[in-house]
Amino acid sequence: MGPVLAGFLQLLALIGALALAYVPLGNYMAKVFSADKHWRVEMWVYRGIGADPDAKMRWPAYLRGVLAFSAVGVLFLYLLQRIQGVLPGSFGFSSIEPAQAFNTAASFVTNTNWQSYYGEQAMGHIVQTAGLAVQNFVSAAVGIAVAVALVRGFARSRTGELGNFWADLVRGTIRILLPGAAIAAIVLVACGAIQNFSGIHEVGQFMGGSQQWNGGAVASQEAIKEFGTNGGGYFNANSAHPFENPTPFTNLFEIFLLLVIPFALTRTFGVMVGSVKQGYAILAAMCTIWLGFVVLMMWTEFAHHGPALQAAGGAMEGKEVRFGVGSSSIFAVSTTLTSTGAVDSFHSSFTGLGGGITMLGMMLGEIAPGGTGSGLYGMLIMAVIAVFIAGLMVGRTPEYLGKKIGSREMKLAAIYILITPALVLVFTAISMALPTPPHSMLNSGAHGFSEVLYAFTSAANNNGSAFAGLNANTDWFNTMTGSAMLLGRFLPMVFVLALAGSLAEQKPVPVTAGTLRTDKPLYAGLLVGTIVVITGLTYFPALALGPLAEGLA
Amino acid sequence: MFTATATRAPHSDVPTGHKPAEGRVGAGLFDPKQLVRSLPDAFRKLDPRVMVKSPVMFVVWIGSVLTTVFSFKDPGDWFGWAISAWLWLTVVFANLAEAVAEGRGKAQADTLRKAKTDTVARRLVGGAEEQVPGTDLRIGDLVVCEAGDIIPGDGDVVEGVASVDESAITGESAPVIRESGGDRSAVTGGTKVLSDRIVIKITTKPGETFIDRMINLVEGAARQKTPNEIALNILLASLTIVFLLAVVTLPPFADYAGTHLTMVVLVALLVCLIPTTIGALLSAIGIAGMDRLVQRNVLAMSGRAVEAAGDVSTLLLDKTGTITLGNRRAAEFVAVSGTTEAEVADAAQLSSLADETPEGRSIVVLAKEKYGLRERHQGELVGAAWIAFTAQTRMSGVDADGRSIRKGAAGSVVAWVEEQGGTVAEDAGAVVDRISEAGGTPLLVAVHDDRGARVLGVIHLKDVVKDGMRERFDELRRMGIKTVMITGDNPLTAKAIAEEAGVDDFLAEATPEDKMALIKREQAGGKLVAMTGDGTNDAPALAQADVGVAMNTGTSAAKEAGNMVDLDSNPTKLIEIVEIGKQLLITRGALTTFSIANDVAKYFAIIPALFAAVYPGLNSLNIMGLESPDSAILSAVIFNALIIIALVPLSLKGVRYRPVSADKMLRRNLTIYGIGGLIAPFIGIKIIDMLISLIPGL
C-alpha cells in the first residue's frame, strides 16, 4: 500500500469515527447544559467556591465570571511557577523567570498552550499536574461555556439571561471533559503512553552516549491536551514524542480527540436552538474547510520535487516515520484548524505552501471546527456576518435563527472580527520593525519572516503550535505573545457575550418563505466563501511575503 | 348598501406601474446627462466635513491628499500623479453618485416650492376677517378660503363644502371634494379652492406643513441613516479597518524582504482593498429608494419605514377598493318557480332603469350582455312612473302599462309584495339563502300585474375581485407575506370573497378595535404588519402598524398616524411599497457582495506587482499576465474608480426584483453579484492594463 492510499484510508477511518461520535456526544452535551439537576459532587464544588449555580446571569455577570475565574487562574499559575524551586517533585528544576512564567500562565489559561520552555527540562510534577493539567480542563470548559451562552442567546427570547457561568464551567469539566479524558487516557496507556511519577532516567543510546528520560503523568495530560484542544505537550517534542504518542493508532486517536468536541458542539447547537439542521449547516461549513485543507496539505506534502523528497515518498523532513506524510498532514491541519496546537511533526519543516496552510488555518480564526467552544462561537460570528450580507440580498433585514441582525449586533460582530487580525498584524509588524526581535529567527528570508508571523498568529488565535526555529524565550516574545494570547482570548469573549445578551433580549421573527434559509447547502457554501474572502484576504499580503514567497519559489 | 359616492376621480383599477410581464419594480430612467449636470455638486461634496460622513470614502479622500502631497515632493514621477488623479476621481465618482440621486429629487422639490408661494391668509378673528401672511398662522387659527384662493396651511374643514384642486401635490388634475366633518375634511396647504367657501382650522405650524415635509423628503435634506444602513456602515467601517491594518503593517514586512514600498503604492493598495464600491454608492442607493417611492406618488415619512416595508410579513388589505372593485355587480338572474330567467331579466332591467347606483347600472349591463336585452331609457315608456332608489325604501322600480315592478333588498320587496296582497314563492327564500351563503347579495324582483303581486326571481349581486389579484397574492405568498382581508361584511360573505381572491386569511365584521387587536397579535408573534387606511378611526391602527400607509384623501389624523402617505390614494400600492423596500435592501446587499468579491482579483494584480522583484516566485500569482508592476497597480486603481460610475445606474434603478422565494433570490443574486464580482475585475483589470500598455513611453 502506497503512502498516499494509506493517508486517505486513515482520513476515512477518522471521518467514520467522528461521524459515529457526532450525534451521541452532541446530544449529551446539549443535555448537560440544559439539565436542571446538579450532581452531588458539583454541589460540593459550588459550596467550595461560594457560587450559586441557579442564579440567572445576564451577559455582564456571565462575563465577570469568565474574567474573574481566568484572572485567578493566571495568577495562580504564575505564582506556582515562580515558587517551583521550593516545590517537591520538581526534579530539581528552578523557579521559572517572570517573563516566561507570565507567558506560560497566559498560555495555559487561554487554552493556547504555547510553550516557550522545554517541558521535560523546566516543569516538575506539581506544576505539570496541579497547574498546567488543571488549566487544560478548565480553560477548555470556559470556552465551551461561552459558546453555550451564545447558543442560548439565539435560543432564548425576551430575556437577557444566558444561564449560569459557574454551572456551565463545572458541568463542562465534570460531566464532559473529565470522563472523556479518563477514557482517552486509559486508551493511550493501553497503547503504550506512559503514566507514572518517576524521576529522570539515564538511558544508554544505540550509538553510544546517553540520554535523559523523564517519567510523568503523561497519558492523562495527553488525553486532555487533545480532548480540550489545548496542545501543551508534556515533552518538548509534543505528540511526536513516543511517550506521548506511541503508535500510528494513537496518532489517529489523538486527532480524533482534538476534533470530536468542536465538531459535536454543532450538534449541541442544533439541538439547543431547536433545529439540528441549523447545526448541520454549520458542520457542513466546518467540514468543507477542514477537508479542503487536509486534501490541500496532502497534495503539497506528497507532491515531491527533488530527489530527496522523491526517495522518501513525500516531504518527510520534520515528520515522524511512524506516522508518515498522510497522517502528519491530517494532524497538522487539524491542530491548526482547532485551537489545539499539539504537533506530531514540525510545521516549520513542511513545504513552503504546507507551512502556509497551517498558518492560514489559524488565521481563519480557528473555526473549522476550532477550539472547544471557541470554534463554535467564532463560526457563529462569521455566520452572523454572512447572514448580514446574504440576508440583504433576499430583501429583508438580515436575521439568523429568528433574531434580527441590527446595528447593535453588527457592531459587536464587526469588532470581534477585527481583534485577531489586529493583534497578529500589529504585533508581527512591531517585531519586524524593532532591531532586536528579529534576532530570534533561526532562518533568514521568507522562512524567517514566517517564524515570526506564525508565532503571533498562533498566540493571538490561541493555537499554541510553533513554527520551530524561532527562539521565543526572550523577554520580548514572552511578553508580546503572552499579551496576544490574553487579548486574543478574552477580548473576543466580551463581544460574543454582549452579542448573546443582545440576541436573547429580542423577540423571535417567524420563519416565512421570504426568510433566508440558513439550514441549506447554499448558505453553508456562502458561509465558507465569506470566511475565506473576508478573513483570508486580510492576511494575503503577509502570507505572500512568507510561505507563498517560499512555496512558489 | 347603495351609498358610495365618489369624492374624486376614480383610480384605475389596475395596480399602477406594475406590469406582471415585466416582473420588477419599475424604475426611473437613468439619463447619462444627469452625471454631467451633477458634477458641480460632486465637487462641492469634496469638503472634508461632508466626506467624513462616509467612512470608507473619507479614507479614500485622505489617501488622495497623501498621494498628491507625495507627488508634489517627487514631481517627475508620472506614476504618482496618475494614481493621485485616479484616486481623486474615485472620490468624485462617489460624490457624483450621491449628487445624481439627490438631483432627481430636486426637480420635484422645485415644483412643490412653486405651490408653496407666499400666500395671504384670511384669518377669522371674532367673526371678522383679517389679512395675514400664511407664515403667521398658528395651530387653531380659523381661515376662510373661497373659490380661487390658495389654502394657506394644512388643516381641517370645519364649515362648508368645496371642490379643491390638489394637483400641486398629487399631480392629479381632477378636483376633489372637501367638506366639514367625516373622513374628507383634511386640506393641504398649497392646494387651490375651485368653488364654494370653506372655513379651515389650521392644524400644523408653518414650516412643518405637509408640503414642507415633502420638499425636505424629496430633496433628501431630512434624510437620516436607516437602521440597516447604519449596520452596513459598521460592517464596512470594520472591513476598512481590517484592510487598513493589513496595509499599514506591510512596510516592515517589505523592508525585511528587501523592498521599499512607497506611500503612493500603499495608498493604492489600501483603496483597492477597502469596500469603495458599496461605500461610494450606499447613500445613493438609499436616496434612490425613497425616490422610487416618490415616483409612485408615495411619501415615506422616514427611510426606516421603507426598510420596514421590505420586512413586512403580514399585509392587511381592505376588501373594498383593494381586493374587489369598489361596488358589487349583478352576476346572474335566478327565476323562482313559475317564471323564466328571461322574465326576471326583463323585469330586473326595467326596475333598475331608475337606479343610478353602480349596482343598479350593473343590472342593466348584465341584462344586456347575458340576455341580449336592449338597454331601454326612461323616456321610452310613455306614462311610466319611475320610482328611484333611495336609501330609505331600498327599492327602485317602475309603474307602467298597469304593471308595477320593484327590485330591491329582500326584506323591502317581500314587504311590498305582501302589502300588495301577494304571496312570496316558497323557493324564493331558498335562493336568497343560497346566494347569501355564497357571499353574494340577493336582490328580489317582484311584479304586481293582473295576476297579482308575486316575486319573479332573484338578482345575484356579488363583489367582483379585481383582475390579477389572485396572482398577486400568490406572488406575495412566495415572498413569504401573508395577506389578510379586512371587511365589514359578515363572515360568510367575507369567506367567499377571501376564497375567490386567494387571500390567506380574513377579518370579517371588522371594527377598528378588531383591526388593532389583529395587528398587535401579529406583532406579538414577531411579524411586521403593513396596512392602509384613511379614516380617523383607522389612525390608531395606522400608528400601530409597522408600515401604515395613509390615503391622501383621508383625514389629517390618519395622515399623521401613518408613516407613509399615498398621494394617489390607491390601496393596492401597498404591495408595490413592499417590493420597493425589498429592492432597496437587495441592492445594498448585492453591491456589498460585489465590492468584497472584487478584492480577490485586485490582490492578484497588486501583490505580484509589489513583491515579484524580491521573490520572483510570486510572479506565478500574476495570473492576469499584467504588463508591468506600475500598470498592474494603476489598472486596479482605475478599475476601482470606473466600476463606481458603471454601477451608478444600477444603484439608482435598484437591482432587478422578482417576487420569488428567498432561496431562489439568494441563488440568483449570489451568482450575479458574488461570482460575477469575483470574475468581473479579472477581466476589467486585464483590459485596462492592455490599454495602458499601449500608451507610448510607459
CA distance A58 to A164: 9
Chains A and B form CB pairs within 8 A to the count of: 223
Determine if residue B407 is labeled as part of a ligand binding site.
yes
pLDDT value at position B475?
83
Chain A residues with CB-CB distance to B251 below 8 A: 429
Decide if B200 contacts B155 (C-beta within 8 A): yes
Q: Please identify which residue in the block is written with the cell numbers 517533585.
A: A89
pLDDT of B158 strictly over 70: yes
- Catalytically active residues of B are 318
Residue A328, number of CB atoms within 10 A of its CB? 30
Give just the sign of the alpha carbon dihedral A437, A135, A257, A142. negative
Report the chain A residue with the minimal C-alpha distance to residue B610.
A541
A540 near B CB under 8 A: yes
Does B158 or A488 have the greater pLDDT score?
A488
Band of pLDDT at residue B3, cut at 50, 70 and 90 = very low
Q: Best mutation site among B261, B527, B583, B670 for testing chain A: the one with the most A CBs within 10 Å?
A: B670
A538 near B CB under 8 A: yes
Q: What is the ipTM score, two decimals?
A: 0.93
Band of pLDDT at residue B19, cut at 50, 70 and 90 = very low
For the stretch B457-497, pLDDT in tens is 999 988 888 888 888 888 888 888 899 998 887 888 888 88
Report the chain B residue with the minimal C-alpha distance to residue A403.
B526
pLDDT of B27 strictly over 60: no
- Min Cα distance B636 → chain A (Å) is 16
Decide if B406 contacts B387 (C-beta within 8 A): yes
A509 and B527 within 8 Å at the Cβ level: the answer is yes
B670 and A520 within 8 Å at the Cβ level: the answer is no
- Min Cα distance A398 → chain B (Å) is 9
Residue A206: phi and psi, rounded to 5, are -55, -40
A397 and B673 within 8 Å at the Cβ level: the answer is no
pLDDT value at position A294?
96
Decide if B359 contacts B327 (C-beta within 8 A): yes
A542 and B590 within 8 Å at the Cβ level: the answer is no
Q: Best mutation site among B56, B253, B588, B664 for testing chain A: the one with the most A CBs within 10 Å?
A: B253
Q: What residues contact A291, with CB distance under 8 A and at least 6 apart?
A: none
Determine if residue B395 is labeled as part of a ligand binding site.
yes
Band of pLDDT at residue B26, cut at 50, 70 and 90 = very low
Task: Read off the pLDDT of each residue in A231-256 and give the average, rounded to a whole number.
Answer: 92
> What H or E segment, with its residue span, contains residue B254?
helix B250-257
DSSP A248-286: HHHHHHHHHHHHHHHHHHHHHHHHHTT-HHHHHHHHHHH
Give just the sign of the alpha carbon dihedral B652, B658, B661, B666. negative
Residue A85, number of CB atoms within 10 A of its CB? 13
Among A44, A56, A107, A63, which Cα is nearest to A81's? A107
Task: Read off the pLDDT of each residue in B71-93 and give the average, rounded to a whole number.
Answer: 94
A468 near B CB under 8 A: no
CA distance A264 to A148: 13
Chain B residues with CB-CB distance to A457 below 8 A: none
Decide if B83 contacts B70 (C-beta within 8 A): no
For the stretch A345-392, pLDDT in tens is 999 989 889 999 999 999 999 999 999 999 999 999 999 999 998 889
B257 and A509 within 8 Å at the Cβ level: the answer is no
* Cα B70 to Cα A83, A262, A387, B117, distances in angstroms: 57, 51, 41, 53
Chain B residues with CB-CB distance to A449 below 8 A: 253, 256-257
Chain A residues with CB-CB distance to B529 below 8 A: none
For the stretch B408-437, pLDDT in tens is 888 888 888 888 888 787 788 888 888 887
pLDDT value at position A229?
94
Question: Which range (A490-504, B361-375, B626-640) has the least confidence?
Answer: B361-375
CA distance A472 to A397: 47
Query: Considering chain B, what is the average pLDDT of its residues?
Result: 85
pLDDT value at position B609?
93
B603 and A540 within 8 Å at the Cβ level: the answer is yes
A393 and B589 within 8 Å at the Cβ level: the answer is yes
B611 and A549 within 8 Å at the Cβ level: the answer is yes
- Of the partner residues B313, B585, B592, the one whose CB lies closest to the CB of residue A512: B313
B589 and A544 within 8 Å at the Cβ level: the answer is no
Among B174, B233, B226, which Cα is nearest to B7's? B174
- Min Cα distance A258 → chain B (Å) is 30
Task: Read off the pLDDT of each residue in B641-650 and give the average, rounded to a whole number.
Answer: 95
CA atoms within 13 A on the CB side of A31: 8
Query: Considering chain A, what is the average pLDDT of its residues?
Result: 92
What percent of chain B has pLDDT above 90? 31
Q: Best mutation site among A400, A545, A548, A550 for testing chain B: the one with the most B CBs within 10 Å?
A: A545
For the stretch A271-321, pLDDT in tens is 999 999 999 999 999 999 999 999 999 999 888 666 666 676 677 888 888
pLDDT of B2 strictly over 60: no
B255 and A529 within 8 Å at the Cβ level: the answer is no
Chain B residues with CB-CB distance to A549 below 8 A: 257, 611, 614-615, 617-618
Report the chain A residue with the minimal C-alpha distance to residue B617.
A553
Which string of b and e fits B647-660 if b means at least 16 CB within 10 Å? Answer: bbbbbbbbbbbebb
**Which A positions 235-264 lie with beta carbon below 8 A of chain B?**
none
Does B2 or B163 have the greater pLDDT score?
B163
CA distance B161 to B147: 11
pLDDT value at position B160?
86
Band of pLDDT at residue B326, cut at 50, 70 and 90 = low
pLDDT value at position B20?
34
For the stretch A327-350, pLDDT in tens is 999 999 999 999 999 999 999 989
User: Between the CA atoms of B191, B195, B201 and B206, what dihedral angle is there, to the nearest 10 degrees?
Assistant: 20
Q: Which amino acid belongs to residue A466?
A: A
For the stretch B652-668, pLDDT in tens is 989 988 888 888 899 99
Among B178, B170, B149, B176, which Cα is nearest to B214's? B170
Decide if B386 contacts B354 (C-beta within 8 A): yes
Residue B133's beta-bridge partner residues? Answer: B120
Decide if A451 contacts A467 (C-beta within 8 A): yes
For the stretch B570-616, pLDDT in tens is 777 888 888 899 999 999 999 999 999 999 999 999 999 999 999 99
Chain A residues with CB-CB distance to B673 below 8 A: 393
For the stretch A8-63, pLDDT in tens is 999 999 999 999 999 999 999 999 999 999 999 999 999 999 999 999 999 999 99
Band of pLDDT at residue A214, cut at 50, 70 and 90 = confident
Question: Which range (A183-192, B403-412, B675-684) has the least confidence?
Answer: B403-412
What percent of chain A has pLDDT above 70? 98
Chain A residues with CB-CB distance to B232 below 8 A: 388, 392, 410
Q: What residues contact A139, with CB distance under 8 A and at least 6 apart?
A: A70, A73, A108, A109, A110, A111, A228, A230
- Min Cα distance A429 → chain B (Å) is 5
CA distance A456 to A445: 18
Q: Please identify which residue in the block is written with the cell numbers 359616492.
A: B5
B607 and A540 within 8 Å at the Cβ level: the answer is yes
- Min Cα distance A74 → chain B (Å) is 30
Band of pLDDT at residue B137, cut at 50, 70 and 90 = confident
Decide if B273 contacts B86 (C-beta within 8 A): no
pLDDT of A421 strictly over 90: yes
Beta strand ranges found along B474-609 (DSSP E): 482-486, 505-507, 529-533, 547-551, 564-566
Band of pLDDT at residue B11, cut at 50, 70 and 90 = very low
B249 and A446 within 8 Å at the Cβ level: the answer is no
pLDDT value at position B611?
94
Beta strand ranges found along B91-160 (DSSP E): 120-125, 128-133, 142-146, 155-159
A534 and B596 within 8 Å at the Cβ level: the answer is yes
For the stretch B216-272, pLDDT in tens is 777 765 667 888 889 999 999 999 999 999 999 999 999 999 999 999 999 999 999
Among B39, B80, B46, B44, which Cα is nearest to B60's? B46
- Of the partner residues A415, A446, A449, the one whose CB lies closest to the CB of residue B238: A415
Report the chain B residue with the minimal C-alpha distance to residue A410.
B231
A516 near B CB under 8 A: yes
A397 near B CB under 8 A: yes
- Of the partner residues A430, A515, A541, the one whose CB lies closest to the CB of residue B662: A515
A394 and B588 within 8 Å at the Cβ level: the answer is no
B248 and A534 within 8 Å at the Cβ level: the answer is no
pLDDT of B396 strictly over 90: no
Question: Which range (A179-188, B37-46, B114-123) has the least confidence?
Answer: B114-123
Question: Which range (A134-143, A215-224, B245-254, B298-307) has the least confidence?
Answer: B298-307
pLDDT value at position B534?
76
A492 near B CB under 8 A: no
Report the chain B residue with the minimal C-alpha distance to residue A429.
B249
Residue B133, number of CB atoms within 10 A of its CB? 12
* Direct distance between the N- and C-terminal alpha carbons of chain B, in angstroms, rounded to an integer: 84
**Which A positions 401-420 lie with beta carbon below 8 A of chain B?**
402, 405-407, 409-411, 414-415, 417-418
Does B428 or B390 have the greater pLDDT score?
B428
Chain A residues with CB-CB distance to B621 below 8 A: 544, 548, 552
pLDDT value at position A306?
65
CA distance A107 to A129: 15
CA distance B469 to B12: 14
Decide if A480 contacts A358 (C-beta within 8 A): no
Report the chain A residue with the minimal C-alpha distance to residue B257.
A445
User: Between the CA atoms of A145, A148, A154 and A156, what dihedral angle is there, to the nearest 10 degrees?
Assistant: -90
A277 near B CB under 8 A: no
What percent of chain B has pLDDT above 70? 93
Band of pLDDT at residue B23, cut at 50, 70 and 90 = very low
- Of the partner residues A390, A406, A415, the one whose CB lies closest to the CB of residue B231: A406
Band of pLDDT at residue B103, cut at 50, 70 and 90 = confident
